[in-house]
């Protein structure tokens, strides 16, 4: 049974990935400093997996440590026979990265570099990196493909993603690493169990949790940042993907790394990039309208000035993932909004 390391696991996407890989039969090691999460998620992960009545539950271990501490990272590798890594670790609030750029470079880039150095010393050279569609040049006209130009990121968070992708490309070229960069944007909704979901304490950074807090009367109104973009209705457009579809893409990516078709004589490491998106953009106003229909009430909102880091449109073509990974998104954004509202209603009654 193979063992994977999930870095900074207790957040929204990461906890779902832990469940998916445990259910697929992999031992999972979780590594997080709990700077923006809670250790109680590990009990919820165990509960979800035990509910599924698996014949043999793989090992789940948790380390409450920090990637920027090389001795702690080394100890994890010394104590476990790690076969491969999914690297999620990052601070990820765009506005915060503009205010605290050095923290983001330290946390995201320096932490990643320490992880990579330890991986190399233990001869672990298979990695899936949780990258972002934000590495594409902001002045490109979507939809993007994996061959679209990157660079010219507009804030430290997005820049950190671009830097890490290029570090991994160098390691592939010069140290024979096998690398998959998964680029995605705006995952939504929660696990079907109702135990793990995105539920930030304050005003969320992501649109759908923000909308749900307004719909549930936790916040008074939704702020819409700009209504004069060159889009279908003047508000910016993004591609929203269901988190369950997204983590299934991570599993498919690892199965691709394991494929015997990729074990070719003379291979000296490789890099593959995959877009994991639906391929359809949805505007902020469309999200508001869909939600208003579902909750049978107009969602209150107010128009605010544009933010400096926002771009008009970001969505992609995911044909490469369908062709090589046998993956495609299955859940529409309307269904994700409906599922989110059902989920909130259910938890409100509990």
Task: Please indicate, yes or no, if residue 336 is contained in any of the structural domains.
Answer: no
Q: Which of 90, 95, 101, 85 is nearest to 131 (CA)?
A: 90
Which of 12, 26, 104, 157 is an active site residue?
A: 157
Cα 314 → chain centroid: 16
pLDDT at 349: 58
pLDDT at 321: 96
Which two tokens mark 239? 């591609």
CA pair distance 248, 184, nearest whole angstrom = 13
Regions in the chain scoring below 70 on pLDDT: 9-12, 36-38, 51-57, 89, 190-204, 260-267, 348-350
Supply the DSSP symbol for 260.
G
Task: Please indicate, yes or no, if residue 67 is contained in any of the structural domains.
Answer: yes
Task: Please indicate, yes or no, if residue 348 is contained in any of the structural domains.
Answer: no
Signed CA dihedral, 244, 247, 252, 253: sign only: positive
Please confirm, yes or no, whether 157 is among the known catalytic residues.
Answer: yes
CA pair distance 161, 163, nearest whole angstrom = 5
Task: Please indicate, yes or no, if residue 136 is contained in any of the structural domains.
Answer: yes
Signed CA dihedral, 67, 70, 73, 77: sign only: positive
Predicted TM-score (pTM) of this structure: 0.89
Q: Which of 26, 60, 54 is nearest to 250 (CA)?
A: 26
Per the omega criterion (within 30 degrees of 0), is the bond before 181 cis? no
Please tell me the total count of domains within the chain.
1
Helix (H, G, I), strand (E, B) or coil at 116: helix
Task: Please indicate, yes or no, if residue 105 is contained in any of the structural domains.
Answer: yes
CATH code of 126's domain = 3.40.50.720
Task: Please indicate, yes or no, if residue 179 is contained in any of the structural domains.
Answer: yes
Q: What is the pLDDT of residues 293-336, one digit of tens each?
A: 999 999 999 999 999 888 899 989 999 999 999 999 998 899 88
Task: Please indicate, yes or no, if residue 93 is contained in any of the structural domains.
Answer: yes
Domain that holds residue 140: 3-186+242-275
Task: Please indicate, yes or no, if residue 342 is contained in any of the structural domains.
Answer: no
């Amino acid at each position: 049974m193979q063992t994977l390391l999930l870095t900074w696991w207790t957040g929204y996407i990461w906890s779902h990935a832990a469940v998916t890989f445990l259910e697929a039969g992999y031992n999972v090691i979780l590594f997080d400093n709990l700077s923006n999460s809670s250790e109680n998620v590990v009990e919820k992960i165990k509960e979800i997996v035990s509910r599924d009545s698996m014949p043999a539950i793989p090992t789940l271990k948790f380390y409450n440590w920090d990637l920027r501490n090389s001795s702690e990272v080394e100890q994890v590798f010394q104590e476990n026979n790690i076969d491969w890594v999914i690297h999620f670790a990052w601070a990820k609030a765009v506005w915060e990265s503009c205010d605290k750029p050095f923290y983001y470079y330290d946390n995201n880039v320096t932490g990643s570099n320490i992880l990579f150095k330890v991986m190399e010393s233990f001869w672990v050279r298979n990695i899936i990196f949780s990258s972002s569609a934000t590495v594409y040049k902001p002045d490109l006209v979507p939809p993007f493909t994996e061959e679209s130009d990157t660079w010219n990121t507009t804030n430290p968070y997005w820049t950190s993603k671009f830097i890490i992708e290029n570090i991994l490309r160098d390691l592939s070229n010069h140290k024979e690493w096998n690398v998959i960069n998964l680029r995605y944007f705006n995952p939504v909704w929660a696990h079907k169990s109702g135990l793990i979901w995105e539920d930030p304490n304050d005003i969320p950074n992501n649109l759908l949790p923000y909308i749900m807090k307004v719909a549930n009367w936790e916040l008074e109104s939704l702020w819409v940042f700009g209504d004069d973009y060159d889009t279908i209705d003047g508000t910016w457009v993004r591609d929203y993907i269901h988190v369950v579809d997204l983590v299934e893409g991570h599993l498919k990516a690892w199965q691709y790394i394991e494929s015997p078709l990729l074990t070719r004589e003379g291979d000296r490491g490789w890099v593959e990039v995959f877009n994991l998106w639906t391929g359809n953009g949805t505007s902020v106003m469309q999200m508001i309208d869909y939600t208003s229909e579902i909750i049978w009430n107009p969602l209150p909102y107010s128009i605010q000035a544009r933010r400096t880091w926002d771009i008009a449109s970001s969505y992609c073509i995911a044909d490469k993932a369908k062709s090589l990974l046998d993956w495609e998104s299955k859940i529409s954004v309307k269904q994700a909004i409906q599922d989110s509202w059902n989920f909130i209603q259910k938890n409100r009654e509990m």
